[in-house]
Amino acid sequence: MTDQNQAAAPASSAIPYPTSGQSWYLVFVLMIFYVFSFIDRQIISLLIGPIKRDLGISDTQIGLLSGFSFALFYCLLGIPIGWLADRKNRKAIIAVGVIVWSLMASLCGMAKTFGQLFLARVGVGVGEAALSPPAYSMITDAFPREKLGRAFSIYNLGIAIGSGIALLVGGLVVGAVTGEGKTFTLPLIGEIRAWQFVFIVTGAPGLLLPLLLLTVREPARRGLIKAEPNADAPADIPLREVVRFMIKSGHFYSLHFIALALFAMLGYAVGAWLPEVIHRTYDVPPSDVGKVLGISVLSVNVAGILFFGRLCDKLTAKGHTDAPIIVCFIVAILIVITSTVPSFMPNVTLAYVAMCIAGFPFHGYVAMGPMAVNQVTPNQMRAQVSAVYLFVNAFLGIGVGPALVPLISDYILKDPSQIRWALAIVVFGAGTLAAILLWFERKPFRARMAAAAQWQ
């Protein structure tokens, strides 16, 4: 690395950081929320058959329930919620969001029509939009820069743990309670179908989660832009100024948002299609693939997130101000190399081994992306800019990733049996392009880090 990497770090604030115990406890509580959010977000993928049977809906309608209904307001409401989080109590915003998504996840279990289930899934997206933007802001305020890699990694373990539980434990629950004609009778609710029961029992516990926020302290805001150079009070920044700031810093934000959205696109593509690809290639049941994948995500992927967070902190301690971008670049190269090969192994055993190896770097970027955004964004803008980041991420990830694989298979390769090649094309193309963008992003990120040193 060159001396350019040694740009000035943000000036230390006179405001003391919370104690180490308080900071890590905050991250742990937020991570638990993230776990529950991913369980509620993904459990529907295990209930497709029973829902189609009982509601009499099509695959297209299932697709709307799985992705579009959730992503629509998750994307759109994230920005106004971010505006609130930059001004109001972030704990309170998260608490309201958790209650909303848990309540709406439970209401999914009371839906009797497609329209009712669609609206309930919209509500899940609305609630979950209130979690990450304020959580990112709080974590950034709670830790010095040399510990942010580990802190963001632990929070983002929620992605891997929540996904793994939805695949593994969720599948076991679904297998135990679902079945044609099977019903349950609940107090005040009455008779419901088995798939409705699954929604209720996975959503209802989340209503108690906000009580955990009573045990944590909201960290003092730091990295505030002052109204005037010598002013005592921080500036109250209107939305138009946030837009201007992002445009002025567009060289960094555009490269970073698109690069990380490409990660999300290939991630959702793999999540949606890898079990089916392994099934078609090696003629094994998708349920078996799900069990192996669930165990792998809960172990190997979790280890990878922690490893790359630690690597980021080590690079930061050595003076590399672009450490999160370097880590993302390394992860992109590793994903291109490892995630394209599982379905091309000579037998299913080796395919499973390759799948587990690919899991180690697969989520290595999830902490680095938002961490980089929050490091170079003033406190009064962090949640709003994070919401824009999540908007682009979800749009390309949820909106494009799962649909791109069958489009390539059906309309370019014109052979559904070759879907493994379609998945490999998406992973290789998106991962390679992300690596290129990240390489060119390093210089503008270092410039933004130098500018951040002047905020205080």
pLDDT at 403 (0 to 100): 78
Residue 446 lies in a domain: yes
Mean confidence (pLDDT) of the chain: 85
Of 214, 248, 265, the domain-final residue: 214
pLDDT at 76 (0 to 100): 80
Same domain for 311 and 205, yes or no, is no
pLDDT at 11 (0 to 100): 43
**Does the pLDDT of residue 4 top 80, yes or no?**
no
Residue 426 lies in a domain: yes
Taking each helix axis from N to C terminus, what angle separates 48-55 and 114-128, rounded to the nearest 10 degrees? 140
**Does the pLDDT of residue 5 top 50, yes or no?**
no
Give the distance, in angstroms, between the CA of residue 184 and the centroid of all CA atoms in the same chain. 33
Rounded alpha-carbon distances, angstroms, from residue 37 to 80, 206, 395? 20, 9, 18
Same domain for 209 and 248, yes or no, is no
Same domain for 134 and 243, yes or no, is no
Average pLDDT over residues 428-439: 97
Same domain for 394 and 320, yes or no, is yes
Same domain for 182 and 73, yes or no, is yes
pLDDT at 166 (0 to 100): 77
Q: What is the CATH number of the domain that holds 415?
A: 1.20.1250.20
Rounded alpha-carbon distances, angstroms, from residue 62 to 45, 49, 68, 69, 404? 9, 10, 10, 10, 17
pLDDT at 275 (0 to 100): 80
Same domain for 139 and 70, yes or no, is yes
Residue 231 lies in a domain: no
The structure tokens 């002052």 sit at 226
Same domain for 130 and 183, yes or no, is yes
**Does the pLDDT of residue 443 top 90, yes or no?**
yes
Q: What pLDDT, in 10s, does the model give residues 62-108?
A: 767 777 777 777 878 888 999 999 988 999 999 999 999 999 999 99
Residue 226 lies in a domain: no
Q: What pLDDT, in 10s, does the model give residues 200-248?
A: 888 888 899 999 999 999 998 887 776 555 555 555 677 788 889 999 9
Q: What pLDDT, in 10s, does the model give residues 252-281?
A: 999 999 999 999 999 988 887 888 788 888
Cα gap 426→37, rounded to integer Å: 27
Q: Where residue 8 falls among pLDDT bands split at 50, 70, 90?
A: very low
Buried b (16+ CB within 10 A) or exposed e, 9-44: bbeebeeebbeeeebbbbbebbbbbbbbbbbbbbbb
Residue 227 lies in a domain: no
pLDDT at 187 (0 to 100): 67
| Number of domains, the chain | 2
pTM of the model: 0.83
Give the distance, in angstroms, between the CA of residue 130 and the centroid of all CA atoms in the same chain. 13
The structure tokens 């165990």 sit at 295
Same domain for 311 and 426, yes or no, is yes
Same domain for 209 and 243, yes or no, is no
Same domain for 100 and 200, yes or no, is yes
**Residue 25 near residue 139, CB atoms below 8 Å:** no
Range of the domain at 305: 237-456
Cα gap 89→160, rounded to integer Å: 28
Cα gap 453→211, rounded to integer Å: 37
Residue 339 lies in a domain: yes
Q: Where residue 338 falls among pLDDT bands split at 50, 70, 90?
A: very high
Same domain for 76 and 164, yes or no, is yes
pLDDT at 169 (0 to 100): 66
- Count, residues in the chain: 456
* Cα-only R_g, the chain: 22
Residue 229 lies in a domain: no
**Does the pLDDT of residue 171 top 90, yes or no?**
no
Residue 258 lies in a domain: yes
Same domain for 111 and 247, yes or no, is no
Rounded-to-10 torsion of CA 312, 243, 225, 143: -20
pLDDT at 3 (0 to 100): 38
Q: What pLDDT, in 10s, does the model give residues 381-403?
A: 888 999 899 889 988 887 788 87
pLDDT at 315 (0 to 100): 95
- Written as six digits, the tokens of 171 are 């599948």
